[in-house]
Structure 1
């Protein structure tokens, strides 16, 4: 007798939004699919009720990268960084708040968003505001650098490594950590590269794991596994 086929957990993926159009890098979709999840693109809703109804269908949520976050900001955005569209910001908040006890993975902007939602703060331009910081944006010469993970952190256990070489695309960065969160990954310059909640439900990474599945596939596999258990 064949074992029953387990349904794929339904994973919502947020999108960028500008000028009335949504957009999404297909790498996010491929990463979730490869990990055994069913990717569902999150629309930009007109109402909070519709956002809550859609979120009720989800087993997990990925908050993707994006433009400049405006919540919890220290300083002003540099001229070469567009602010997030207010409609995306509103939509992300509604969907995130509706996830309750289900797992959420924040990537780049998504990590900063999770931190800001918990009352944390964000450097508007970390290279300008934090002396000795590396160039973390590819537009400013950044490409890859090592990320060190805190021993016994959930992320270190998931990746089964004390550190990894990660890509880097960001101008902003986490400053003060929000309530219920802890910093668990750091660049060689001390910039926060990963956070997680005390209960392990929320994980955020500043790098883009969907673009480096050769190293980061376990992160998506663990995320989808946790979503399946909700």
Structure 2
């Protein structure tokens, strides 16, 4: 195994998929996610949703140096004590449980992680927070989700003195958005590190964690601008890997 390239686990979708004569449930992830990892110097490892307990989560993370909780369907609102909004996706309890277990274990063992879109929401809910289930009801527009697979560009302001500010080295950046939900009540121990001009939370982090960063936008869709996030994760994962080797 190449010691210079850390293993980065990426959670995946579980959806009905067609290929040739087959129409079956399948685990998959858009190529842009794992391209971003190997371009940053990591080795991507795909993690399909599956039955999970603490032992399984520990075994999986024991083989990894970093973790990415990817985008996808809405988190089940029952996980934060709410009834579903009419626009909220049908619950995916298998993926919710899988990602919650992985993320909780990653935090406990100080494994570097990056949350993307849904990944930020999974983190917030795992830490006891809640979500705005339909942003247009709050902000009055579909500026964050135009639909039809079209990403919108929104400017977000970065809070100074944060890990995110170190990574992007800018006070504000344009990001690609595709979400209709966002953080409402902030989870325990999290700090907000970016917002858009209407106050919508666009990034959070765990300040006492070696690398615990989550963004509401899709950095994998803008490799030139947001490669810094993946580079930061891979650098932290490389240091974590070196620390494991020293034990």
* TM superposition score normalised by structure 2: 0.84
Question: Which runs of no fewer than 5 residues in structure 2 stay unpaired?
Answer: 17-24, 241-247
Alpha-carbon distance between aligned partners in 2 of 1:44 and 1:73, rounded to the nearest angstrom: 23
Cα deviation, 1:140-163, whole Å, max 9, x if unaligned, reads: 887111010011111011100001
1:136 aligns with 2:176: no
TM-score (norm 1): 0.90
Runs of at least 4 residues of structure 1 off by over 3 A? Answer: 131-134
The 8 Å contact of residues 50 and 95 in structure 2, kept in 1 or not, is answered as no
Indicate yes or no: 2:95 matched with 1:88.
Answer: yes
1:54 matched to 2:60: yes
Query: 8, 15, 22: which one pairs with 1:11?
Result: 8
How far is the alpha carbon of 1:75 from its aligned partner? 5.6
**What 5-or-longer segments of structure 1 have no aligned partner?**
none
Q: Does 1:65 align with 2:92?
A: no
The CA distance in 2 between the partners of 1:217 and 1:118, in whole Å, is: 27
Name the SS for the 2:147 alignment partner.
helix
* Aligned counterpart in structure 2 of residue 177 of structure 1, from 186, 193, 211: 186
Q: 1:73/1:161 Cα in 2 relative to 1: closer, same or farther (>3 Å)?
A: farther
Which of 183, 196, 202 is 1:193 aligned to? Answer: 202
CA distance in 2 between partners of 1:225 and 1:197 (Å): 17
Q: Displacement of 1:185 after TM fit?
A: 0.5
Matched, 1:204 2:218: no
Q: 1:84 to 1:8 in 2, by over 3 A?
A: farther
The answer on 1:101 being equivalent to 2:110 is yes
Post-superposition CA distance 1:155-185 (Å, at most 9, x none): 0111000010011100011111111101110
- 1:8 shift after superposition: 0.6
Q: Is 1:219 matched with 2:229?
A: yes
Q: Kindly report the root-mean-square deviation, in angstroms, between the aligned alpha carbons of the 2 structures.
A: 2.0
